[in-house]
Every structure is written in structure tokens, then in C-alpha cells.
A = this chain, B = another copy of it.
Amino acid sequence: MLVVMRMDAREEDIRGAVEKIESHGLKAHPIPGAQRTAIGITGNIGIVEPVLFESLPGVLEVIQVSHPYKLVSREFKAEATVVDVSGVKIGGRDLAIIAGPCSVESYDQTLRIARAIKEAGAHLLRGGAYKPRTSPYSFQGLGREGLEILARVREETGLPVVTEALDIDVLDLVAEYADMVQIGARNMQNYTLLKRAGRCGKPVLLKRGMNATVTELLLAAEYILDQGNNQVVLCERGIRTFADHTRNTLDVAAIPAVHRISHLPIIADPSHAAGKRHKVVALSRSSVAVGADGLMVEVHDAPEEALSDGYQALSPGEFSDLMVEVRNLAPVVDRDVPSYVGT
């Protein structure tokens, strides 16, 4: 932490600030400059809030230097984490492709789509049993029945299943059925849910909130790791900006930013960012090219009849074309698109 004094701060102001710092068991390092003095602070500053010094006489501002995350940081763990979702690896050289419908609507629909995406080369099946919807009058998901459908389709196809736990009431149930538990963007700062996900015994897919900084995303992940679960995959899905040509602005730069700061893998969800089917393929390529560890793509075999978000779902044919593009692109960025035997 750095306490910056005003240009007109008096000697006694500086002395006062130093004493205040030391009264908290910290060490003060005054740096007298040409125009003003700054005071560096060292010691156990993890527990110190800037307010302690901000309103002292002669203080201009207090600047925090270190970031508050630990377990998620590359400074603490240098090598990249590879998350294992029932045999599918996320975070290493292999790209992981997650696909499926926005919502689980029926056994037949889910099975048809699962077979199509498996055929095209996807590694994991997504599908919402519990849906967060802006309006209370929109379809809210099949609930437990949706989880059961996913389990049956997994048995049929061998594809591990990723699905969202909307709240703590259903998290344990979701963790029981799913191979990977998804925490949605709107819940990225639902701390109770994050803590519970940290104890659920399954890998977690944590989506970035649409107004979250990379620091906040990493701190949300820190909640999960802090509970003993380090099997966390992050997901960039677009942020909210003034730009109105997509539903959200896919912040592809967040992907190398996370890789630089953290050892956790990060994938991209081009479907929610685009909000329109016709941009999904381009954003998928863009995400793989920037270094994403995988993709999560919505696929529906009758997008026009989908009960939610159909306008952003690829058809099975479009998804199959996308997989061809991903396979062509992968070697250019030193990646593989694996085929899992038996799945």
C-alpha cells in the first residue's frame, strides 16, 4: 500500500501518517520526492483497509498495490491446472468442446442433440435443467426431471454432463447428477453458492458476471478454491457495454489476461456473447485463436421451437461445420482436439 501525501502536506502531517501506520504494527517507508512525499507500507497489510489512512491530514490518496487473490494466482502455483471432468481434460493442450441445448426440454430432444454433437466431436454435453430468466413469465426449466434426462442421455451417449446449479437448494442435487456443476454469470458473486460449490466434490464451471472485472472473477474462484475444490474452469461469456450489435461484448482479451495471472483454465461461451446465431462461428474461431482452453456452444436441432435462447443456437449441421473449423485452427495455436475412446 502506498500513502500519497498532498503537495502542501506539512512535516507534521507526514510524521502523523507514519505514526498512524506504525500504530497498526506496520512498517512505514517515507519516499520524499521533488513535489510531494509518498509513504510505502509493508508488513501484514492483508487486513488493512485504505480508509485507515485516507482521511489523515495531508493525505491525497491511498493506492493499493497488491491484489487480494492467493490460491488462484500463478505466483502461488506456476503450472497450469488441468481439470478432469469424468475423463475429459480442460486446461492442458487439449481443447474441450462443450455443446448442447440451452434448456433440457425433453428426453428425445436432448438425446437427439447429444448424439449429433457427439458425432460432430464434442466432448461434453451442456443443457439447463434450472434456468435463470429475466422475466418470471419465461420458461424456468424442467428441474429435477431435466437432471434425470441428462443422466439418461449420458448413459446412452457416454458424454459427461455440465449443468447449472441455480441456487443452494439444488446444488447438491445437481452435483449428484452432473459431472461438472455450472455457476452462471448472474450468480458469480452469490458467495453462499460459491462456497457450497467449493464443497460439492465436482468440478465447477464458473462464468464471468457480465459486469465483473477479471480480478472479481478470480476472487469468485478464490471462494471455491478456499473451500478445498481446485477443479475450477472459468468462462468468458461477454460483458455488458454500450455496444448494441451483440447481446454482450465478448472480451477475448480476458482469456490471455487470466492465463497470465492465474493457473486456472478458461473457456469461452460465444453463444451468449453473440446472442445471434450468425456470429457464433466467428466468435468461436476468435476465442480459440486468442488461447481459450475450450468452447461452450449452444446447439439445438429446431432452434425456432426452442423454449429459450433459440436465436443463438447453432443447428447440428452448423455445429459440425464449426468443429471442422476448430480442428483446422487447433494446430495453428498448438492445440489438439482429442477424440475420447469409448465416449
Contact = CB atoms under 8 A, between A and B. Distances in A.
Given A46-B137, A166-B192, A287-B286, A35 B66 contact: yes
A167 B343 CA distance: 38
B42 A40 contact: no
Contacts of A250: 251-253
Interface string A174-212: 000000000000110111110100000000000001110
Contact of A189 (B63, B186, B193, B223): B186
Interface string A326-339: 00110011000000
Contacts of A43: 33-34
Contact of A304 (B7, B52, B255, B308): B52
Given A34-B42, A68-B137, A192-B169, A289 B291 contact: no
Contacts of A190: 167, 186-187, 190
Contact of A254 (B239, B245, B260): B245
Contact of A31 (B40, B52, B273, B328): B40
A110 interface: no
Contacts of A166: 191-192
A80 interface: no
Query: For A2, A7, A38, A242, which residue has the most chain B Cβ atoms within 10 angstroms?
Result: A242
B252 A252 contact: yes
Contacts of A320: none
Contact of A249 (B75, B137, B253): B253
B65 A38 contact: yes
A93 interface: no
B213 A244 contact: yes
Interface string A109-143: 00000000000000000000000111111001000
Interface residues of A, number: 105
Nearest to A135: B68
Given A192-B166, A253-B279, A32 B42 contact: yes
Contacts of A42: 31-34
A253 B274 contact: yes
A79 to B, nearest CB: 14
A233 to B, nearest CB: 19
A131 B213 CA distance: 20
A226 B166 CA distance: 19
A195 to B, nearest CB: 8
Closest 4 CB pairs of A and B: A211-B211, A289-B289, A33-B42, A51-B311
26 contacts: A33-B42, A34-B42, A49-B308, A49-B310, A49-B311, A50-B311, A51-B311, A54-B311, A55-B303, A132-B191, A133-B191, A134-B216, A167-B193, A169-B192, A209-B211, A210-B211, A211-B211, A243-B254, A246-B257, A249-B251, A252-B286, A260-B278, A282-B290, A283-B290, A285-B289, A289-B329
Interface of A: 2, 4, 6-8, 29, 31-36, 38, 40, 42-46, 49-52, 54-55, 63, 65-66, 68-70, 75, 132-137, 140, 166-169, 186-187, 189-193, 195, 209-211, 213-216, 219, 222-223, 226, 239-246, 249-257, 260, 273-274, 277-279, 282-283, 285-291, 303-304, 306, 308, 310-311, 325, 328-329, 332-333
